[in-house]
Structures are given as C-alpha cells and as structure tokens.
Structure 1
Amino acid sequence: MNSKIAALMPFVDFLGAALGSATEVVLHDLTEPENSVVKIVNGHVSGRNVGAPATDFARAIVREYGDSNINFVTDYVCKTVDGRPLQGSSYFVRDEGEVVGMICVNIDPQPFRSLEDALNVFMEAYRHGGSEEYRDANLDAVRAAYSSSSVETLSLGGNDAGVVEQVRALMASMGKTPSELDQAGRMEVVRKLEESGAFLIKGAAADVACELHVSVPSIYRYLQKVRREG
C-alpha cells in the first residue's frame, strides 16, 4: 500500500467518529482498483467492506481531474446497490502529483428526509396558499429528480456487479436485447463501458461478451477499434 494512503487510516477513523453513523467514510487505494477499499467506517451505509472495488465513477473522475490542480469534488449523488441515494464528496490523495487514492464521504440523507417529512406535516397547520395535491406533487417531483440524478453505484464486489449491471442498463436504455443489437450497437456498448473505465476490472471483457452473446475476441476487437478512434 502507498505510504501516503496508509498514513490516512487514522484520519478515516476520526472522520467517521466525528460525522456520525449516517456518514460512510471510505479510503481507496486506486493502484488496486479491483479491491481498492482499504479502510471503511460506517460501511453499513452502503453495505460495503474492505476489499470492495473502486466504482466506475471514481475511475472516471480520476481520469477527468487527475492531471489538474483540483484536489476534491463535492455534492454529487451516488446510490447503493439497492438503489438508495447518498450525497457524496471525494478528496484526491496524490503522490508526486499522481492520484493514487481517494477519501470518499457518503452521507445517507434518509434521517434528514424523515425529519423534513415530519416538519412538513407539522407545518401544514400554518401554511397558507396552494392545495394539498399541489404540495404533494412538488415534493414527489423533488424526490424523483434527486433519485434519478444518481451518477455512481457503490459496488460491493464479486457478482453484485459493476460490469454486468452496466451492460444491462445500457441495453435497456437502447431498448434492445442482445440478439437485437447489430455490430454498431455492440460497439456503442463497448464505447460507453470504456469511457466509464469498466475494462480496468479483471474479467470485464468475458462478462461483457457473455451479456452481449459474442466471443471474448470480438469484444477485444471492438475495444481496440474504440481506442483507436479515441
């Protein structure tokens, strides 16, 4: 493990204790993306443990900001594998300018939303103007927008699935089954997976080939073409 990452382990304990049980704090070693989680406090928030992989989102933001002078990103929405939204922020750990790790802080908003709901019920007696149906519709719209804005899925590792779930989601968004995809469609799936960093995961090509009902060499040919096209 990189010494700069190892030195942050006590800090992760501190943040977890200071921020409380509704906040997950995760230390990633990005030199080992397949099992990058080396320290986690309040892992019950996402259900992850030490040894879980780096998410596609983590790989993407490292590619985007790794060569910049930006040291952190905040206030993005991520989601657990069972679909619960969390508020995320990440700090980049650099070694001689290269991003080698991240500290991620993921807040479960549900306790605060439950409090908000209770306050809304209480305030109904003092709120003037607008029908109950109108207020409920607005609240539902806000919740729907919050849920649909998720950009990161916090993978547990193993077959919970990073790559497989991505392929299925991409095919669903295209409205196609594997047998309905032509070569251009399969290329598009591989292109989007490459952009997300999915092929950094060991065995990803075999998983993609299985989901698309093609051979592993075919996936590598598509991937080489995508990389040549830039």
Structure 2
Amino acid sequence: MESRETEQDVILRALTPVVDGIAATIGPVCEVVLHDYRRPEKSVVAVAGSVTGRTVGGAMSEIGMRVLARGDDADDELNYVTRTGAGRLVKSSTMVLRDSTGAVFGALCVNVDVTEVDRVQGLLAALAGAAGGRAEAPVTTFGDDIDSVVDALLDDRLRRQGQTWAGLDRSRRLTLFRGLDERGVFAVRRAIEQVAARLGISRASAYSYLSQARATDETGADGTDTTEGAADNPEGAHP
C-alpha cells in the first residue's frame, strides 16, 4: 500500500504544472482542477483559472462523487455540458487518473465557460431563422464545501421523486438511498449522518435503508422493511 500511495503522489506532483499550462494556453475562460480522490472532502490539490470558483483544499463536485462510486471501472467523461448554480454554461472533461495497478485515485478536470459562445450561437441561429428549443444543461453544484454538494444531490433526488421524505413509501425511500449511493454520496465521510439529519431520521435507520437498498439492488428481492418506525410516520420525519 505504501508504494502505491507513493506512486500516486508522484503522479499528482508531475501533473501540477500541467494544470497551469493548460489554463494558460486556453485562456481566461478555462479552469483546470487536479483532484486526489483519496480525500473526497479536500480533493482539490491544484487549480488554475476561475470558472467554478474552486480553491485548493476544496471538495469534489457531484461529478467526482459519480466517478468515485464507479471505482476502478470509472471511465473518462469528455465534452459534457453542465450549468453552475450561478447560471454559467460550462463545457467540461473529466479524465481519471490511474496508477500502474489500474486503480483510480484522482482526476484531471478541464472546465471551459461557454456561456458567451452559447449566447452568440443563439443570436446567430435567430438571425438565420433556425432558432429552436435546446435541451437545458443540468445544474451541477461546485463548491469547496462537501456538505453543500451532498445537500444539493439529496434535494435533487427528492425533487425528482416529487415528494418529501414523509410522503415517500418504502419502495421510493429505497430508491432514494439507492440513487444517492450510485452517485457516490456515501463514499464521503459523515455523509450518512448528514443525510439522516436532513431527512429527520436516525443514523441507524439511514444505515438500514442503505443496506436494504444495496441488497435489493443486488438481488432484485423486496425484503421486509426492518427500519425503525417504518409505519405511518417513521422517526417523526419532516419535509
């Protein structure tokens, strides 16, 4: 383990000047971020440019969580478009970092602010009479605080299910926990406690829901709900 960690540290050190070089080459609309996924809460080890407002020592985004959840099966995600909470349109690429054993331990991310390009493209399309509805880019939470990223993912999952926690039946509660797990939320330290607090349930109950979600995901079985107070209004749940 010690030799692997040393190799991973060497790779990160070697890539640090590359971060500045890429950002300087592309210009002020570019941000390059180097992540060490061994420390999800403080994964940013180098950053150049300012598109998402990342700083060294900041947390990974939900995109990083998704890569982390896939582990060594993670692939590069190239040229995807997302939108920041402030409304900036960003084209990004996330390139996973592997050591000589193939283990994924970090990522090099390039973010380019294409907000003005998109605006001009829309104006040109309107002038050409070809303007039409375009798919809205999903909003991604970028921030140095991992708690805000976890909160955003939880809020998004609840919004997608169209209910508060208290309004979800058992099946949808398991779906909620399964979705959060697939997005890598529970790979973050203390995330289970944060999710439990936000949902108004106990930590033990949250662990039970997560365990059942993983079990039903693997077997397709619908076992008995053993979470505490799983009847009408479990744990005094609140919106």
TM-score (norm 2): 0.78
Aligned partner (choices 88, 91, 106) of residue 92 of structure 2: 88
The answer (yes or no) to whether the contact 2:68–2:184 under 8 Å persists in 1 is no
Secondary structure in structure 1 of the residue aligned to 2:21: helix
Shift of 1:73: 2.8
Counterpart position of 2:31? 24
1:38 Cα offset (Å): 0.6
Find 1:4's aligned residue among 5, 11, 14.
11
Distance 1:57 1:117, change over 3 A: closer
Question: Which residue matches 2:83?
Answer: 79
1:170 aligned residue (154, 157, 160): 157
The residue matched to 2:151 in structure 1 has which SS?
helix
Kept after mapping to 2: 8 A contact 1:25/1:41: yes
Whether the aligned pair in 1 keeps the contact of 2:69 and 2:181 (CA below 8 Å) is no
Which secondary structure state, in structure 2, belongs to the residue aligned with residue 101 of structure 1? strand
Change (3 A) 1:54 1:10: same
Q: Gaps (5+ residues) in structure 2?
A: 1-7, 219-239
Q: In structure 1, which of residues 134, 139, 156 is the aligned counterpart of residue 144 of structure 2?
A: 156
Amino acid at match of 2:158: M
Normalising by the residue count of structure 1, what TM-score does the alignment of the two structures yield? 0.80
Alpha-carbon distance in structure 2 between the residues aligned to 1:28 and 1:4: 11
- Given candidates 106, 110, 114, the residue that maps to 1:109 is 114
Matched residues in 1 for 2:203 and 2:159: separation?
A: 22
Matched residue type, 1:24 = E
Residues 78 and 153, structure 1, Cα contact 8 Å, conserved in 2: no
The 8 Å contact of residues 84 and 141 in structure 2, kept in 1 or not, is answered as: yes
Deviation at 1:65?
7.4
Does the C-alpha gap of structure 1 residues 21 and 115 become closer, same or farther in structure 2, counting only changes over 3 Å?
A: same
Identity of aligned residues (%): 31
Amino acid at match of 2:37: L
State how many pairs are aligned: 209
1:214 alignment partner, SS class: coil
